[in-house]
Chains A and B, each alone.
Chain A
Amino acid sequence: MAEANVPKELLYTEEHEWVEKTGDDEIKVGITDYAQGELSDVVFVELPDVGASFSRMEAFGTIEAVKAVSELYSPAAGEVTEVNDKLADDPAAVNRDPYGDGWMIKLKLQDPSELDSLLSPEGYSELIAD
C-alpha cells in the first residue's frame, strides 16, 4: 500500500487533522491523507457554520465514511471564518485531494502560539508509522 503523503509545509494534530498557516492568526484545516485512507470512502462531512467558536481540540464537525463515523477536532481555539461548502455535494474530495479540494474550515485564532504544540511533519510521520 502506498505510503501516506505528509506534506512538509503543514502542521498536524494527533487526531489526524492538518493545519496550514494562511495568515498571522488564521489557519486552514483538513484531515490527512493517512486519515482519509484509514476511513475509506467518505460519505458525509458535517461542518460548523461561519462564526462558530471552538476551543482547542473541541469537536468542530463529524466525518462519516462507509466504515465509521469520526469527529473532527479543532487544532486550536478560534472562530470559523470560512467553511468548504463544496464538501456537502462532493465529500469524496476528502479522499481525492485531502490537502487541496478536501479542506474543511478556516479558523481565526485566539492565540497563535497554540500552534507551537502541534506535531511537525516528522512527528506526525512517526505517529502513523506502525
Chain B
Amino acid sequence: MKEKNPKRTDSPLIFERSRPGRRGTAVPEPDVPTRPLEELLPKAMMRKEPPSLPEVSENEVVRHFTEISLMNHHVDRGFYPLGSCTMKYNPKVNEQTARLPGLADLHPFQPTSAVQGALRLMWELGEMLKEIVGMDEITLQPAAGAQGELVGALLFRAYHTAQGDPRKKIIIPDSAHGTNPATVRMAGYEVVTLKSNEEGRMDPGALESALGEDVAGVMLTNPNTLGKFESDVEEIARLVHEAGGLMYMDGANLNALIGVARPGDLGYDIVHLNLHKTFSTPHGGGGPGAGPVAVKEHLAPYLPLPILTRAGDGGYALDWERPESIGKVHGFWGNFGVLVRAYTYIRMLGRDGMRRTGMAAVLNNAYMSARLEGTYSLPYGRGMHESVFSGSFLKEHGVRTLDVAKRLLDFGVHAPTVYFPLIVPEAIMAEPTETETKDELDRFCEAMLQIAEEAKADPEFVKNAPYSTPVRRLDEALANRRPNVRYRPEGSD
C-alpha cells in the first residue's frame, strides 16, 4: 500500500532506541593501576545491578533530541505571545558568554580570591539592576519570580517584626497572578483581595478602607496583569506608607517600564525582577531562572545572606555578617549562568537600548491590539506591553477561548495565556514583546482574525483543532490527575 507520509510521527523514547551493547564513545583502557570498586566505596552505596540507561550511538542521541526539539514549540521556532511571560527572543551571544570557560568551569567552593572576576560580574549586574529599578540594595539569589516574591514577603515580616509590630495581612488586587496570594499564604500572612475598578486598576479609595494596623503591605504588579499601568501608584504608596505598610512590586511586567519608569521612584520598597523575562535569559523547562530582589535602604539589613560587597581596594567579598538577615534562600550564590546571560544582555543594549526595548514592547502591543480589538473585545481596554482580550463573542457558536488557542497551533504560533486573569471571561492574554517584526505581528493578527471567521462559519472545525501538531487534543483532565512522566521498562511496575 502506498503511504504519502510513511515517517513515524510518534518519536520513540531514547530508551526504546536502546540496543544492548551499543555505545556512542570508546573509553580508553586506564593507564593507571585500577582497584576494585568495593575497596573504594562503602558497601551500602554499591549498586546491586547496573542502572538501566539507554545504550545508543552518538548520532542517535543527536537525532533524537533534534527531533523532539522540533515537536516542541519554542522561541527559536516561532512566535510565542504567552501573556505575562515575556517570551522575548534569547540572543545567542548570551549563550556564548555563559560558556566562556572562565565562567562556566568555576566551582562554587573556590575561595573568593580565586573568583574575583565572577564576583565582579555579579556586583556590576546588581549595580545595573539597581539603577534600572531605582533601589538601594539587591540580592541575586532567588531562583525565579515566585521565590523572589517569597523573599519579599519574608522581608515584610522581618521588617515589621524588627519594629516590634508583626502584622497579619497583605493586600493583593483581584487581577494578580496566582503566585501572589500563594506566596503570601506560604509566608504565613492572610490574603486580602481587593476588587479592581472598572478600568482594571487598584482604586485608592477601596485601598484606604482595606488598610489598617494589621496590614503588612500591598503587592502590586505594575503594569498589572491586565497590562494596565497603575496610574495611582504614588497615591497608593503614600496611603500604604502612612498606614505603616510596605509596597511590593511584582516585576513580572517590568518589560513595559524598562528605561522609562523606576519602581523605586514610584514609591515601592521592594521589587523582584525576572531575568528570564525582562532580561532575555531562557525560560527553560521551568528553570533555571533568576528572580533578583531589590530593596530600599530600610530593608537592606534583612536581605538574604551573603551580600556581595566591594571593598575600597576594588576587591569583592561576600558579607555574612548580617544578623538581621532572613537567611539563605538558594544553594551557593544563585543561578550564576543565568546572571551571566542577563549581564550580557544589558551590556549589549546599553542604557539607550534598554529604554528602546521597553518602548518597542509597548508599541508592538499597541499595534497588535489595534488590529484585533475590532473582533476580539478588550473588556479593560488596551494594555501597555500586553492586552487581555475576551473570546466571549464566540460562545454563541459553541467555540471557546481554549479552541482558539488550539487552532493557533496550526499557524505555528504558541497559544497566548488563556483563562487568566480571572476577572476577564474567556481571557486571551497576548504579549508580543519587542523582539518581533511587524510582519510577524501581522501574521499573528491575521491568524486570530481568520480563526474568528472559521469559528462562525464552521465551529466544529475549530473545536477539533489542532490538525498539524504531533499530537491532537489531549485528555487534559487525566493528564492532570494521573500524570505519567516516568519511563518504566516493560515488565517492571
Contact = CB atoms under 8 A, between A and B. Distances in A.
A68 B418 CA distance: 10
A67 B419 CA distance: 6
Interface of B: 178, 392, 395-396, 398, 402, 418-420, 422, 425, 476-477, 480-481
A41 interface: yes
Interface string A54-86: 000000000010111100000000000000000
A41 B477 contact: yes
Contacts of B402: 40, 67
Given A67-B419, A69-B178, A130-B392, A43 B398 contact: no
Contacts of B396: 1
Nearest to B425: A38
Nearest to A67: B419
**For chain A, which range describes its interface: under 10, 10 to 19, 20 to 34, or 35 or more residues?**
10 to 19
A69 B179 CA distance: 12
B477 A43 contact: yes
Given A67-B402, A69-B178, A43 B418 contact: no
A68 B178 CA distance: 10
Given A1-B395, A69-B178, A42 B419 contact: no
Contacts of A38: 425
A66 B476 contact: yes
Given A67-B418, A68-B420, A68-B422, A43 B481 contact: yes
20 contacts: A1-B395, A1-B396, A1-B398, A38-B425, A41-B476, A41-B477, A42-B477, A43-B477, A43-B480, A44-B480, A64-B480, A66-B477, A67-B402, A67-B418, A67-B419, A68-B420, A68-B422, A69-B178, A92-B477, A130-B392
Most chain A CB inside 10 Å of its own CB: which residue of B396, B419, B422: B419
Contacts of A67: 402, 418-419
Contacts, number: 27
Given A1-B398, A67-B418, A67-B419, A44 B392 contact: no
A13 B235 CA distance: 35
Contacts of A91: 481
Contacts of B420: 68
A91 B481 CA distance: 10
A66 B480 contact: yes
A68 B419 CA distance: 7
A91 B425 CA distance: 23
Nearest to A43: B480
Interface in A14-66: 38, 40-44, 64, 66
Contacts of A43: 477, 480-481
A67 B418 CA distance: 8
A68 B476 CA distance: 12
Contacts of A44: 480-481
A19 B481 CA distance: 28
A7 B396 CA distance: 22
Most buried by A among B395, B402, B481: B481
A6 to B, nearest CB: 17
Nearest to B418: A67
B389 to A, nearest CB: 16
A54 to B, nearest CB: 16
Nearest to A89: B481
Nearest to A65: B477
A74 to B, nearest CB: 17
A68 to B, nearest CB: 6
Contacts of A1: 395-396, 398
Contacts of B178: 69
A84 B222 CA distance: 42
Nearest to A70: B422
A93 to B, nearest CB: 12
Contacts of B480: 43-44, 64, 66
Nearest to A130: B392
